[in-house]
Amino acid sequence: MYQVVIVEDDPMVSLLDKTFTEKDPRFTVIQTFSEGRSALEWLSCHPADLLILDVYMPLLTGMELLHELRAREIESDVIMVTAANDAKTVDALLKLGVVDYLVKPFTWERFQQALDTFCRHRQAVAGEAVSQDALDQLFAPSASSPEHPVPKGVQESTLERIRTCLRTAPPQGLPSESISRQTGLSVVTVRRYMNYLVERGEVVSSVNYDTGGRPCRLYRYPGLA
């Protein structure tokens, strides 16, 4: 589970950031701050995977905080959630390596996309070397499979949560109920998305009769079993 720190001076936005983050079972919020200086001192002594950061804050702005973190070789990834959308600020923060940039006000779906982008980044650089497919998923996820447009009502961010779950599935696959528990999605939603992934040939399904009761359908990536 990824550990998240939120630095946001607006208490309502901070609460929204926390609520949206913890809707995703891959993340837990371990600390929140309303200004940058306290966040800097805490982060200097405590590791965090992801920082959700505002720009306009007292004592130390988000830009100044990020500069200080990098100067101290603190390599937490950063998602900006801010009202700052002038080109100079955006360009400067992107050059500091932020994972994603959300301009207030934002939707849950866009926030979820940012979390998915962070996860793709971490997965891509987890091994000894990075494959071209992993790089394509990181830099151009929508372009990596143009022959399979996502139909109306299917969210790419939800698909990515299910794909992440299936990447760590056992060889025999996982039932809908297990995928539901691991992703935080309802079983009905999981089954609808699995039907879509099976139809497009990305996932295969099989029936497990060795349950001692009612048979269940298992889902996995091709070639795992």
Residues 36-80 pLDDT 10s = 999 999 999 999 999 999 999 988 999 999 999 999 999 899 999
Q: What percent of the chain has pLDDT over 70?
A: 87
What local confidence, expressed as pLDDT, does residue 96 receive? 87
Helix (H) or strand (E) holding 193: helix 187-199
Does residue 115 have a pLDDT over 70? yes
Question: pLDDT (tens digit, 9 = 90+) per residue, 116-134?
Answer: 889 888 877 766 676 676 6
Q: CA nearest 221: which of 175, 169, 181, 185?
A: 169
Half-sphere exposure of 12 (CA within 13 A, CB side): 2
What local confidence, expressed as pLDDT, does residue 130 receive? 64
Band the pLDDT of 223: cuts 50, 70, 90. low
Does residue 224 have a pLDDT over 70? no
What local confidence, expressed as pLDDT, does residue 116 receive? 87
Q: CA nearest 55: which of 83, 86, 94?
A: 83
What local confidence, expressed as pLDDT, does residue 163 receive? 87
Instruction: At 53, give phi and psi (nearest 5°).
Output: -130, 135
Put simply, whether the predicted model's pTM sits higher than 0.85 gets the answer no
